[in-house]
Each structure stands twice: as C-alpha cells, then as structure tokens.
Structure 1
Amino acid sequence: MKILLTGANGYIGARLIPALLQQGHEIVCQVRDPKLFQKQSPYADQVTLIKGDLLRSRSMEPLPTDVDAAYYLVNALPQTSGFAGLEALSAENFIQAVDQTACKQIISLSEIDDHLGQAGLSRQHVEDILRTSDAAITILKSTMIVGTGSIALELMEGLTKKSPIIIAANWARAQEQPIATDNVIDYLVGSLLNEDTFNSEFHISGPDILTFKDMLLMHGEICRQRKVKIVTVPQVSSALSSYWLNYLTPISYSHAKTLVENLKFDLVSRDDAIKSIIPLRLLTLRDALQTSIQVSS
C-alpha cells in the first residue's frame, strides 16, 4: 500500500517509518525541508519525499493520487489563541490535499484530555476538521508515552538527576496510565486500513495505573539504580513550574507548560475497545524503562 506520512521528523513519525517499511508499504513523507530530512533520517533513501509546509498551502507539492491511507502526526504547537488557529489551518490544508487523492483512511494520534483546557480544545478542533475529510478517520488518544527520546522520559530523567526531587503536591497525586512507545507504534500500524477502526476514536494506554510520584520512584530504581527521595510542596503556579522544568530538563518551555497542565489531572483510559480489535502484549512502565536502558547502552 502507498502510505502518506506527515510529521515524519517527529518523535512518533520517525519511529513509525521503519515499522511500515517492515510491513512492505510504500511511504510518501510530506516534509517542509527534504534536505534536512535526508540528513536526519536513516530511512530517507527508502521513502519518497514530497515538499510541503502545511501552514503554507502554496508551498505544497501535489500528492500522489494513488495514496491508500495517511497518517496525520503533525506536532502540536505552543498553546496560544494564535497558534491554535495555525493548528486548525494545518489540518484544513492537509484535508484539502488528501481529498484530491484516493485516500481511504486518515489516522491521527492525539491525547486523552478530560478537562479540555486550551490545548485540549485546540486538539478537539483539529479532530473535528479531520472528520470532514472524504476518507474514514481513526483517532487514537494516548496517555503519557514513555520510550527513548520521549518527552515523558526526558521529564523523569531530568527530575531524577538530583535528590531530593521537589514536585508540586498535585503532581504527586495525579494518576497516569503510561503507554510504551513500541505499543503506540503497534496500534498505529494495526489500525491501518482496518475497517473496524474506521470513523472511530479509541483510547490507547498501558496496563499500569500509577501516580506520577510512583513513576518517578520506579524511574529512580531502574534507570538511576538508587532510591530517590521526593518532597512535595504546595501548589505552585503553572508558569513557575514550566520555567522550572525548562531549566532542569531538555524540555522546551511550551512542552513543559503542556506537561504541567496535564499533571494537574488524572490521565487514565476510559475505553479499552481497541484491545479486542488490535490485541497486543502491552508493556508495563517497568518494561518501557528497561527497554530504554538497553537502547541507550
């Protein structure tokens, strides 16, 4: 099958490429800068590159008309009202281009977000735009993704560098249901032209429900090989927490701000329908952390 991939330079997109190639699919990557992609991706010579910036429709080269399915994995932008409008524009330009092809399905990855803050409302608007396509839509909503290079793992690595770890009290109590990167890729591949996933939204998550404090303790045990001490402090402002994370970790301020907002709430799956459609061996957080050590070594 011929598969269109947007967000090929992103964390998930870059890991999806080898999985799709292994299945024998022909991949067309729509990228803003083909030369940069060729420098960064070890699979550049195994895919077809189409130049195009989804924020500038005139820059987009025509897509092959025989595309069978498409992945919309465009990274979220910093959440201000202006950037929310740009996210919507990106989705609209994508739909206009894809609807000129024979694409039968669009698969998108989003986040479970019950409180629908500014970021959640922007994602919901993008999903509504994607649903206007002539193709069937499949939306996978994940919890915290943990794997080598993921923002969640960078967060834990940054916080556990020193002891004691100082975190806000509500962070310590927030329940998370982390999912391993490998399982996210499995679900993305398993959904491909799977009619049981057409025009549907699914929650994807791992088997563990843990507080963020428990996650940090486990990371210290497995990745630092020591017991970390955690001190909780009363609620601090989102801005201060975001600057603090940006200082302690490699995470950008915009990503830190989104993480801080998410850590105020439980992120737990309420829907396990995907498990009967795409049965997998779901990795625990311990599995994901141990795998990250093996990859790094």
Structure 2
Amino acid sequence: MSSVPAQGDPRPDRPVPTEPTALRVLVTGSTGYVGSRLVPELLDAGHTVLAATRHESSLGDYPWGDRVEARTFDVGDDDVVRAAVRGVDAVIYLVHSMESDDFVAKDRAAAERMAAACADAGVERIVYLSGLVPDGDLSDHLRSRLEVEQVFLDAPVPATVLRAAMVVGSGSTSYELLRRLSERVPLVTPVPSWMCRKIQPVAVEDVVHLVGRALLGDPRNRHYDIGGDEVVTYPELLARYAEVAGLRRVRFPVPFVPRWVVGRACALISGMDRPTVTSLVESLSHDMVCGEDAVRRDVLEPGYTFTGLTEALERSRADRAQPGTSQAGDVQAAAGTDPD
C-alpha cells in the first residue's frame, strides 16, 4: 500500500516513466471529472494536449487551461468530430451520456462517428475509459458502455479499453453518492439485501495513471479490467467510509425492496441526478469485480502500487489548498469545476 502524502506534498512518490513518447493527444471530456485530472498528468508526461470542448472559454476555469490547445467538439456533429481529430496521434475518449431516454443509441452513434473519423484521419490509437461489465442481465447504463467498447474494438484504429470499477475520489459521481448517503442517512442505515454484493473500488489517481500509460508502447486492441487491491461488499464499503469520516452508523439488511424505489430514494437523499443515481444503484445488484488483472502486466508502470482504499477515502476527504485538477494538487481532492 502506498503511504499517505505529507500535507505540503499531496501526491505520493510514484515511479517516473522512462523514455516517454510525446504525442498529440485529443482528450474528449477534458472538462469532466476524470478528464480535468488527466490533462495535467499528460502535460507532465510531455504530451501536447488538445482539449475537446463545446465552449473554448470554459477552459480558462482550469489551472491547465493556458497550456492546452482548444479543439471545438460536438460528438453529435460529423464535421466537427472530423476536424477535432485532424493531426492527432491519439484520442482519449471519456464521453458518456445518461441525460436522455435514448442515450444508449446516442452513445453508440457517437462512438461510431468517432471511430470512423479517427480511421480517416490516421489516428494511431484510441483509449476508452469504460466500466466493469458483470455477468448477467445488464442495465441500460452498463449495456451502453459495452456497446461503445465493442464499436471501438471492431474499428480499424487499435483501441485500449479500460474497464474501471467504482472510482474513488472527491467529485467522482460514485464517491459523492457514497459520501452523501453515508453522511445524510441517520444512525440506522437500511441496506437492501440485493446490494450486499462485492465491489472492487479504484482510486482516481490509479485510473489517471493507467489512462496515461495506455498511450505508451505499441497500440493494443483489447479491454482490461482495472480495480484496486481490495474487494469489499457494499455494506463493508459504507462501514469503511463511516470509519474514515468518524461516523457512527448501524447497517441492517432489508429484503424485497425494488431497485427503482432504492434508486429514487438515494437520488432524493443525495440531491443528485435521478437517472444517474438509478443507473449506479442498479449496478450494485451485480458483483463489480475484475475478471482478470492483465492490466498490471501490460500497462501498469513497473514498481507502481495501487492506492489503498482507506488512503483513497482519507485523501478524498482532506481539505487541500490546491484543487485536484492542479498539477500542484492532489488528484484525489475536490475542485470547484467538478460536476454538480
């Protein structure tokens, strides 16, 4: 387990990649949660970052805004997408949508549009950040991730797909749901019996590291599961957060509670977007655990250690002078530009 960094140096010591290859990298979703933390890592690695955005002026809100090249981007517009990937070596695809009833079809069409544009422009590789795909019937959210993944893997440009488990970090949707439910539900916390599944959380620091590493070496065309070193049940995760936060909570299982009821209740308590919360709650009816660990052999920097779950939770809660999107900050920390 890596050590908790000192207050004056929020990032733990990490091995520095040797002989990095500088690329021109288009980051879609650059102003989103993962993207805004990934950009400074890519800049530190010597890459030229082209930040895809609908509104170029919005990049000024980020500490790295003056160090990137803005590229106008609209995933629904063929001409705009083709212009965005022109002269690019690699594309990091961080686009996900759950805002409309037909988001599954829209996400698939967007991926097809991007894959075709990359092939025409001679892009060397695509890196797609997806989610773990469990066995059994999939929710629309998980099915959409899988469809987008398959679009890229079937396309001419090699694609590295990173299937992340629950991402732990201040501002992460999954983490914020965990935090708000833990802090806002009273002393006694009911947990539906179907949520007593296994989950393998991963720190956003490790996600960012692996996305950056996927740009190195020969292009790969396959998916990798990524998760931290610990596998816990969701009630155990709630207990771990309560311990870190100094909360006293008693959890007990409740049978026969419909998923839609739990989803709506969690959205109401957390104050978060209901379709997003419902999708996340539905995923908790599956074991969200890595099926293989080849990413540690093929992608991970030699000598790198995954951030421990307790450390990730502690650093995500800590007050920091610098935002998580700053090169001087802790990537686990919050930022004022994080999505609501």
TM-score by length of 1: 0.92
Structure 2 match to 1:176: 199
Q: Deviations over 1:49-93 (max 9, x none)?
A: 11121112244471363311110110232574x221111121122
Q: 2:294 aligns with which of 270, 273, 280?
A: 273
**CA apart distance, 1:39:** 4.3
SS of equivalent residue, structure 2 residue 42: helix
> Counterpart amino acid of 1:118?
D
Q: Deviations over 1:27-60 (max 9, x none)?
A: 111212222x224322221111111211122444
Q: Which aligned pairs between 1:5-154 and structure 2 lie closer than 5 A? A: 5-35=27-57, 37-60=58-81, 62-63=83-84, 65-78=86-99, 80=101, 82-114=102-134, 115=136, 116-154=138-176
SS of equivalent residue, structure 2 residue 25: strand
User: Is structure 2 residue 310 aligned with structure 1 residue 286?
Assistant: yes
**CA apart distance, 1:295:** 4.5
Q: Which stretch of the first structure deviates more once superposed, 90-99 or 60-69?
A: 60-69
Q: Which aligned pairs between 1:240-279 and structure 2 lie closer than 5 A? A: 240-277=261-298, 278=300, 279=302
Identical columns (%): 25
**CA apart distance, 1:206:** 0.3
Alpha carbons 2:98, 2:141 under 8 Å: kept:
no
- Shift of the 110–295 alpha-carbon distance from structure 1 to 2, 3 Å rule, reads farther
Q: Which has the higher helix share?
A: 1
Instruction: Number of aligned residue pairs: give it.
Output: 292
> Counterpart amino acid of 1:99?
A
**CA apart distance, 1:158:** 1.3
Alpha carbons 1:63, 1:98 under 8 Å: kept:
no
CA distance in 2, matches of 1:34, 1:72: 18
Give unpaired runs (5+ residues) of structure 1: none
- Shift of the 60–106 alpha-carbon distance from structure 1 to 2, 3 Å rule, reads closer
> Counterpart amino acid of 1:251?
M
Q: Deviations over 1:97-126 (max 9, x none)?
A: 222323111000111122333222222221
CA distance in 2, matches of 1:240, 1:170: 13
CA distance in 1, matches of 2:149, 2:295: 18
CA distance in 2, matches of 1:39, 1:167: 43
Q: Which stretch of the first structure deviates more once superposed, 269-278 or 110-119?
A: 110-119
CA distance in 2, matches of 1:124, 1:13: 20
Alpha carbons 1:16, 1:185 under 8 Å: kept:
yes
User: Is structure 2 residue 238 aligned with structure 1 residue 238?
Assistant: no
Q: 1:221 aligns with which of 230, 243, 248?
A: 243
SS of equivalent residue, structure 2 residue 114: helix
Alpha carbons 1:65, 1:100 under 8 Å: kept:
no
- Shift of the 93–295 alpha-carbon distance from structure 1 to 2, 3 Å rule, reads farther
- Shift of the 103–256 alpha-carbon distance from structure 1 to 2, 3 Å rule, reads same
SS of equivalent residue, structure 1 residue 220: helix
> Counterpart amino acid of 2:204?
T
- Shift of the 100–289 alpha-carbon distance from structure 1 to 2, 3 Å rule, reads same
Alpha carbons 2:153, 2:222 under 8 Å: kept:
no
CA distance in 1, matches of 2:85, 2:105: 28
Q: Deviations over 1:260-284 (max 9, x none)?
A: 1111111111101111221420112
Alpha carbons 1:71, 1:107 under 8 Å: kept:
yes
> Counterpart amino acid of 1:269?
C
> Counterpart amino acid of 2:139?
G
Give unpaired runs (5+ residues) of structure 2: 1-22, 322-340
Asked which structure has the greater RCO (Cα within 8 Å, sep 6+), the reply is 2
SS of equivalent residue, structure 2 residue 243: helix
- Shift of the 72–64 alpha-carbon distance from structure 1 to 2, 3 Å rule, reads closer
RMSD (Å) for aligned C-alpha atoms: 1.9
